[in-house]
């Protein structure tokens, strides 16, 4: 139901909302072992506890659902970044002219990727303020490499940052609601 990449959100919500009488049996066992019941049968108490904590459980399940989607998306973005790193590292070794610098090391390539991600994330800030965290620049004559790195920069700007903004907005709203209460 929640399998990547096409989780059925409506079905997941429906599943959480569904009545789960089958859960009463393990809860009854827990209640019987944890509470000195006296004359009250464990089954009745477990039923009452179930009703008592149902909303809290549902809230936790919805939060877990949000976290699950975010972790899947985050893992996907991180994996793309790793793939890009390996590909530009291999590109720099295959074609010595991909970067305009003479000393191309894995650490320098990593810094170049970080610089590229910042340029994607901060839009024009890096260009406008002439800032860079990388000691290397790409060779503008290697057209394929230029457009390949542009693709990754666009990916960071369009997908990653827009997702981060939405997540931040969601979290801000929840925190704000929490503070208002």
For other proteins, the binding residues (CB under 8 A) are: 3-7, 9, 13, 15-16, 20, 23, 26-27, 30-31, 34-35, 45, 48-50, 52-66, 69, 73, 76-77, 79-80, 82-84, 86-87, 89-91, 93-94, 106, 148, 151-152, 155, 158-159, 162-163, 166-167, 170, 173-174, 177, 181
For residue 127, how many other CB atoms are within 10 A of its CB?
11
Min dist. Cβ of residue 84 to other proteins (A): 5
- Among the listed residues 118, 158, 140, the one whose alpha carbon sits nearest the alpha carbon of residue 110: 118
Min dist. Cβ of residue 123 to other proteins (A): 18
Q: Which residue number, 131 or 174, has a Cβ lying nearer to other proteins?
A: 174
Q: Which residue number, 106 or 131, has a Cβ lying nearer to other proteins?
A: 106
98 and 91 Cβ atoms separated by less than 8 Å: yes
Q: Which two tokens stand for residue 67?
A: 């976290």
The SS3 of residue 163 is: helix
The SS3 of residue 99 is: strand
Min dist. Cβ of residue 63 to other proteins (A): 7
Q: Which two tokens stand for residue 19?
A: 């009545």
């Amino acid at each position: 139901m929640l399998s990547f990449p096409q989780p059925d959100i409506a079905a997941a919500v429906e599943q959480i909302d569904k009545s789960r009488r089958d859960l009463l049996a393990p809860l009854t066992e827990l209640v019987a072992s944890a509470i000195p019941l006296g004359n009250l049968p464990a089954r009745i108490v477990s039923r009452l506890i179930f009703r008592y904590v149902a909303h809290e459980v549902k809230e936790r399940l919805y939060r877990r659902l949000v976290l699950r989607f975010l972790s899947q998306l985050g893992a996907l973005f991180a994996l793309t970044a790793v793939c890009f790193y390996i590909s530009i590292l291999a590109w720099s070794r295959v074609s010595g002219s991909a970067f305009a610098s003479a000393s191309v090391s894995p650490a320098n390539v990593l810094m170049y990727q970080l610089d590229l991600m910042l340029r994607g994330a901060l839009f024009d800030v890096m260009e406008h303020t002439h800032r860079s965290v990388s000691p290397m620049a790409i060779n503008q004559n290697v057209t394929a490499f230029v457009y390949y790195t542009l693709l990754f920069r666009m990916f960071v700007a369009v997908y990653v940052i827009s997702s981060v903004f939405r997540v931040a907005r969601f979290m801000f709203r929840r925190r704000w609601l929490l503070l208002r209460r």
